Amino acid sequence: MQLSARTPLRTAGFIGLTFSLLAGFESERALAGDDRARDDVTYKWMARYGHGLLALYGIEVTARGPYVESGRYPARDAAGRGRLFVMNHRSMLDIFVNLAFVEANIVSRADLSGWPVIGLAARRVGTLFVDRKNKQSGANVINTMCGAVERGRAVMVYPEGTTFSGDEVRSFRAGAFLAAQRTGAEIVPVGIAYDGDAASFGDESFVQHLLRVSSAKRTRVGLAVGEPIAGDHADVDALRALTHERVQALVHAARASLSGQVGAAG
């Protein structure tokens, strides 16, 4: 793997940005009066972190759909209940984009919790960790998602279960849709597409992936957000199929936005 001079500079910048923003976040959060206020502080600092990471890594996002064209998609619906965001998963850079454009706690692989720097940040902002090979872990995270949305927190889920390359959206796991059915939380479908395959997280270690995307001069990303889907659906499989269809359409819309075309955010 050939790395550019940008890689060590960005790595140092990543560490510095993470710890400096964590310090500010912890200070402000300690002064927040209640759980709702602490959640709002968390989302504010997550947005700062996300936009800082996008600038640091040269990531240019074309965002289409409700809220994201001029800001961030809010965590709560009109009734104050948390939302469930469902998106395809292509790269570690997905997380940077989500932090900047969506108010949500992310469901992530369990081993990330123990990683240096990024694991600490993920734990402090309330990331939900799941071991997808462990059925009990999966059941626990569904219960955690239900509790979160009922308290007005949003959750971002990558229901394909892992990263893939290309624009084909793979089959969705059922967990997020069970949580939506139990709580009545609305599901917000999201599609993401990258200009080229260089950002894809494929057959490599996380460290290799991080070093590779760090060497790119810039990375262009299309993000498309659709209208929410009612989660209180009697048939979980039908809800999962409908959401999958919407996310696939949004991936195509995100791809079209990178080509300068106008795609419908379905």
Average pLDDT value for residue range 140-160: 93
**pLDDT > 90 in the chain, percent:** 67
Average pLDDT value for residue range 64-93: 95
Lowest mean pLDDT among 92-106, 179-193, 203-217: 203-217
Q: Is the pLDDT of residue 1 over 80?
A: no
114: CB partners within 8 A, 6+ apart? none
Mean pLDDT (the chain) is 90
Average pLDDT value for residue range 34-40: 92
What pLDDT sits at residue 261? Answer: 56
CB atoms within 10 A of CB 211: 17
Q: pTM higher than 0.85, yes or no?
A: yes
Q: Which ranges in the chain belong to alpha helices (H)?
A: 6-31, 35-56, 93-101, 118-124, 135-150, 175-183, 206-214, 236-258
Q: Is the pLDDT of residue 237 over 90?
A: yes
Average pLDDT value for residue range 101-114: 86
Separation between Cα atoms, residue 45 and residue 4, nearest integer Å = 30
Write the pLDDT tens digit of every residue in 53-76: 999 999 999 999 999 999 999 999
Q: Which residues on adjacent β-strands are paired with residue 84?
A: 155, 187
Q: Is the pLDDT of residue 158 over 80?
A: yes
Average pLDDT value for residue range 5-14: 90
Residue-range domains of the chain with CATH: 6-258 (3.40.1130)
Average pLDDT value for residue range 87-114: 90
**pLDDT > 70 in the chain, percent:** 96
pLDDT band at 263, cuts 50/70/90? Answer: very low
Average pLDDT value for residue range 184-195: 96
Give the DSSP H or E segment for 225. strand 219-225
Separation between Cα atoms, residue 148 and residue 152, nearest integer Å = 6
Q: Is the pLDDT of residue 264 over 70?
A: no
The residue among 72, 96, 91 whose CA lies nearest residue 17 is 96
Torsion of the alpha carbons at 233, 235, 236 and 242, rounded to the nearest 10: -80
pLDDT band at 192, cuts 50/70/90? Answer: very high
Average pLDDT value for residue range 98-110: 91
What pLDDT sits at residue 74? Answer: 97
Separation between Cα atoms, residue 146 and residue 204, nearest integer Å = 33
